[in-house]
Amino acid sequence: MPAMLARVVAGMLLAATMNATAAPSPAPAREIIALLLADPTHAPHAQLLKSVKRGLEEAAVDNVVMRVTDVDGLPRELARASAQDYPVVIAVGGRAAAAATQNLPATTPLIYALISRARYDALAAQRGRSVNTTAIFRDQPFTRRLRLLRASLPMIRRIGIVVGPASAPYVHDLRRALAHTARLDVQMVNAPGEVMPALKRTLVRSDAILALPDPLVYNPRTMKGILLTTYRHRVPLIGLSQAYVRAGAITALDSTPAHVGAQLAELLAELARSPSPRPELPAPAFPRYYDVAVNPTVANSLGIHLLPANELRAILSQQETDREPLR
């Protein structure tokens, strides 16, 4: 081999060696084992699980291993593998949230799903707030609900609320979200027998009633009476979900288990892509995805021109900020 050709070949081999050293092949993705504490036979939980799996598939995330157990199976799962073996545990619904809070050490990363903000605050205080606890709430932020109210009922100037112990800590947040655009009439209650008298007091002072996620005030036992009373007073009620709208509320925002599952899949994908072996959980969040429900029959009977659900949804999407404030 001529000397010049030998030098060229040697140089090419040296460059190839240096490039191989500088750019090693990427290491395999770290596996995330997620223990989903839910009841797969319960329709909302099954819907959430299906949405999580679909979201991970669409994001091409294949290093998240989902293990599913119910509350009764949690002790067996923890006996089989230490809680420290799970990079994340997901508790779906109130019963699973309580079981996880009681049985898992505070060092185990825990995500609550399908629970209210008030329930999360109580559980987080019990467990101890840390970077190892977060949630995707089932209820909507006040700012988004008030945008819906303004878009659907632009002439409203007086808003009535009936507040129980669970929602009382958030009245200040609601006042701040109103930002002097409407007057808020607040009726506080502490027992079931106080709910209807308080509602009747605020009905005579309000142009609309805003339902709050408070189990003392709004529950299956009180819903029918509240809806009938507001309708008789010809005052529209802004509900908490599509079920409220079907029962007689004029409009509501609704995040389904599928919506929450899609957001949960995005969170798991972020954790799976993190280079840290124990990535920190993000701050608690309100639902990112939601639908608008309307009841045009009730609106017409109250003499209210209500925009269709898709138009209201478009208005909210245009107004939506990148991230809703938590507090």
In a domain, 288, yes or no: no
Same domain, 264 and 314: no
Q: Say if residue 134 is in the same domain as residue 174.
A: no
Residue 219 token pair = 């529950």
Evaluate whether residue 5 is within a structural domain.
no
Output the pLDDT for position 112: 96
- Using alpha carbons, select from 69, 6, 1 the residue that is nearest to residue 35: 69
Considering the domain architecture, whether residues 121 and 146 belong to the same structural domain is answered as no
Same domain, 247 and 310: yes
| pLDDT at site 131 | 64
> Which pLDDT score, from 0 to 100, does residue 16 have?
40
CB 261 within 8 A of CB 50: yes
Q: How confident is the model at residue 63, as a pLDDT?
A: 85
Q: What is the pLDDT of residue 66?
A: 86
> Tell me, what CATH number does 166's domain have?
3.40.50.2300
Low-confidence ranges of the chain (pLDDT < 50): 1-28, 322-327
Q: Are residues 230 and 166 in the same domain?
A: yes
- Per-residue model confidence (pLDDT) at position 203: 97
Q: What is the pLDDT of residue 321?
A: 57
Q: Which two tokens stand for residue 286?
A: 């309100």
Is there a domain that residue 207 lies in?
Answer: yes
Asked if 54 and 182 sit in the same domain, the reply is: no
CA terminus-to-terminus distance, the chain: 76
pLDDT at 85: 65
Domain tally, the chain: 2
DSSP state, residue 258: H
| Judgement on whether residues 167 and 179 belong to the same structural domain of the protein | yes
- What residue numbers bound the domain in which 241 lies? 142-254+295-319
Q: At what angle do helices 257-273 and 43-58 cross, to 10 degrees?
A: 40
What's the rounded Cα separation, in Å, for the pair 301 and 299? 5
CA distance 151 to 154: 6
